[in-house]
Amino acid sequence: MVEAPRPAVAIVLLRDDGRMLMIRRAEGIPKAGFWSPPTGRVEPGESAAEAARREAREELGLAVTPLRQVWTSLTDDARYRLDWWWVRAESAPLRPDRREVAELRWVSSEEFPALQPRFVQHQAFFDGVLPMLRSEPSGDDSEGA
């Protein structure tokens, strides 16, 4: 029997210029060196919004308010279902946990393909979802990193 994908979240944090925060995963964690939005598993008894809040605090040292889920995808190995949560930063500056985050970069839809290595299944988000979010106010003007 095939196991259903486990729940996880991807954090969508945008600046006012429409660029999205991407991280390069640190050595010692799964898929080290890959660029992705900050992500993490949903813990038992935790909602996806609560997981987004916790993961932003743990990985980025950032308090956030989850606004809404904007997309869903599978991880490259199909072990996890990523619920992409658009969040608004409530604190600044970013304070990444270097055990999980090797580098931060704010990227536009046009800049995403240049990130290497990256998860190719995320291209659909940058092509179809991010341009729509950029036209909606998020209340986030984070410039940190």
Q: Just give the CATH number of 6-131.
A: 3.90.79.10
| Residue 32 CA: distances (Å) to CA of 22, 25, 84 | 14, 5, 20
Q: Report pLDDT digits (tens) over 74-99.
A: 999 999 999 999 999 998 899 999 99
Instruction: Yes or no: say if 101 and 26 are a contact pair by the CB < 8 Å rule.
Output: yes
- Domain segments of the chain as ranges: 6-131
Task: State residue 140's pLDDT score.
Answer: 47
Asked if the model's pLDDT at residue 18 lies above 60, the reply is yes
Q: What is the mean pLDDT of residues 31-41?
A: 97
Nearest to 97 by CA among 36, 55, 143: 55
Asked if the model's pLDDT at residue 134 lies above 70, the reply is yes
Give the contacts of 7 (CB within 8 A, at least 6 positions apart): 41, 42, 48, 51, 80, 81, 83
Asked if the model's pLDDT at residue 116 lies above 50, the reply is yes
Burial state string for 9-20 with b = 16 or more CB within 10 A and e = fewer than 16: bbbbbbbeebbb
Q: What is the mean pLDDT of residues 24-47?
A: 97
Asked if the model's pLDDT at residue 25 lies above 80, the reply is yes
Q: Report pLDDT digits (tens) over 38-63.
A: 999 999 999 999 999 999 999 999 99
pTM above 0.85, yes or no: yes
Residue type at 29? I
Residue 103 CB neighbours (<10 A):
14
Task: State residue 141's pLDDT score.
Answer: 44
Q: Is 105 exposed, middle or buried (0-12, 13-18, 19+ CB in 10 A)?
A: middle
For residue 2, what pLDDT band results from cuts at 50, 70 and 90?
A: confident
Q: What is the mean pLDDT of residues 28-43?
A: 97
Strands 101-107 and 20-25: antiparallel
**From start to end of 37-77, where are the E strands?**
39-41, 64-74
Report the alpha-carbon distance of residue 80 to residue 23 in Å, rounded. Answer: 18
